Amino acid sequence: MVQSFNFNLNRKLLVLVWSASLASIAVITFLSFNFADSILKEDVQYQLEEQSTERGQKIRELFNDKKQQVANLAQNLEIQKLFVELNKIADEQTLNSKLEEIQVLLTLKIRNFQLTQWQTFRLEDLQILDQNGRLLYSLNVPQENEKLFDEQKFPPNNKPKISFVMADSNDQRHMVISLPIFVSEQNSAKYVGSIVVTTNNDELDGILSNRQGLETTGEIYLVNEERFMVTNSIFVENAPLNQFVDTLPVSECFNNNKSLSGIYKDYRGVKILGISFCDIPNGFVLLTEMDEKEVLKPLFDLQQKIIIVGILFIIAVSSVTFFLSRRLSEPIKKLSNAAKEIANGNFNVQTNIKTRDEIGYLSTSFDTMAKKLQESQIAINLRDEIIKQQEDILLRFSQTNEECCVCIIDIIQSTMLTATLSVEKTKNFYEIFINSIAEIVKKFNGRVVKNIGDSLLFYFAKMDFNNKDYFKNVIDCCLTISDSNSEINEKMSKEGLPGIAYRTSITYGIVSIAKIATSSVDDIFGSTVNRCSKINRFALPNGVIIGSDVYERVKNYREYEFRNMNATVGTQSFYSIFLVTRK
């Protein structure tokens, strides 16, 4: 036989402590994680936003300064005049001849520009194109740069443009500023050509190379309108102009001209915390990003420390709890064993627990109880001896004869109704019926004697009433029982029991009332009781019938109607039965 697991007090206390500790650790971990998560993300986001804004402003100023410097060159009147003259020459030979004449002048202008802007503008090449896209001048050999600037000959919509290209000769990235040249003619501006300036990326890289505040996975990079990365990546080699970036902040910038901050996936598909700096006029978006895992790393470290401390706390508390539970459970075990001894009839037991707490008080009370039980047992044994000596006397009863009304109420077809009920349901069935009827009988000062199967026997002592009200009280009681059928059935329905109907009969005559010494309930018997039982079957469902002995005494009562049932009991043809109802 497998022994059941004994879940004693020690184990219960340990389980309680473990449950409370684990719940506390879980709640603390959850709250601290969520609280720290929001604070940490806000702090890192603030740092990234600070970096993004500061560097984005510097890049914007850099681009605007370079465009302005090129614009200053384009606004030189002598250069504009040369553009107008050159655009009028259609013959190639004449154009080349003219270019040779002005080569020295253009070179001087360009060198002067290069010298004055050297600190902020390190020229690698400067090209001048006419309105038809013909290359008129270049600091370098035109053949070497023809392919390099093929896409820069005509700025889109004749607006200044900054772009980035890779040079085939040295595989280096270059910044190209394309600027249209306009001259005023007859109150209008006429496009006469473009200046394309090529410079290195030292200043731009200097702005982005500082990794202060970016930790290990943080990076700042620039994306152009074609959605290609134009600066270096710390994760991807040869990223400039090769790595396509179509992330959420890039789309939001170039589609809606909005900057974005928050959690999203970067060009690698990794979740990051990022800030974008959108600059549509210059055609770029600056992204400052850091991997979410690195952002939350301090948080996971904190969570791990909380769990470790929590486990150590549980171990410490469990040890203390185990020690205390042992001290607490030992007296309880002692009390339990003493209770078992008393249950087995051994009242000569004492616990003698002397602690100054509730258990000590309980032990004192228990010992006092055991002593009193022992004394009571002695008294009971003595009383049993006396009872045995007087057994014959106790079995006798006193008997008196009285004239009174006897009533029987019987359930119709109760055997069929209870045939399918369980033992518990059957018990409830009869309990509801008997208790309901007994309450009504008690209200009319009747005396319930006993139940006989599915019938209830009760009577009315005549000494409790004067002669005038006696029979009226009896009939009113029985009619009230009939009227209570719906209320009783409602109680049955609530318990899932079948409804009932019953019959009530009343007879009047001499009965023998036995007062038994061993019981507080009287018993009655005699011919009057027998007649009441025999006429009961003639009653209608939920109806009340009376014998002729009752009818002769109540037939002049105006509040009732009587109907002769034309039935007799046994050979006594003179004993008639009447149905009684209220008018």
Give the pair of three-digit tokens for residue 285.
């978006």
Rg (alpha carbons) of the chain, rounded to whole number: 56
Q: CB–CB of 176/194 below 8 Å?
A: no
Distance between CA atoms of residues 90 and 102, nearest Å: 17
> Residue 105: enclosing H or E segment and its boundaries?
helix 92-116
Q: Where in the chain is the domain with CATH 3.30.70.1230?
A: 395-582
Predicted model pTM: 0.48
Q: Does domain 395-582 have CATH number 3.80.10.10?
A: no
**The two three-digit tokens of residue 248, written as one number:** 């959420």
β-strand pairing of 397-411 with 271-279? unpaired
Cα–Cα distance, 155 to 159 (Å, whole number): 6
| pLDDT tens, the chain, 583 aa long | 444 445 566 666 667 777 777 777 777 766 666 666 667 667 777 888 888 888 888 888 888 888 887 777 777 777 777 777 777 777 777 777 777 777 777 777 777 766 665 455 567 777 888 777 777 777 775 544 444 444 444 444 567 788 888 765 556 778 888 888 887 776 777 777 788 888 888 788 888 887 777 778 888 999 998 999 988 888 988 888 889 999 999 999 999 999 988 889 999 999 988 899 999 888 899 999 888 888 777 666 766 777 787 778 778 777 777 676 666 667 777 777 878 877 777 777 777 777 777 777 777 887 788 777 777 777 777 666 665 655 544 444 456 788 899 999 999 988 888 888 888 999 999 999 999 999 999 999 999 988 887 889 999 987 656 666 889 999 999 999 999 999 999 999 999 999 999 999 999 999 988 776 555 567 888 899 999 999 999 999 999 999 999 998 898 898 999 999 887 766 455 678 999 999 8
Amino acid at 495: E
- Both tokens of 282, joined, read 């210059």
183 CB-side CA count, 13 A: 17
The CB density around residue 164, as the number of other CB atoms within 10 Å, is 19
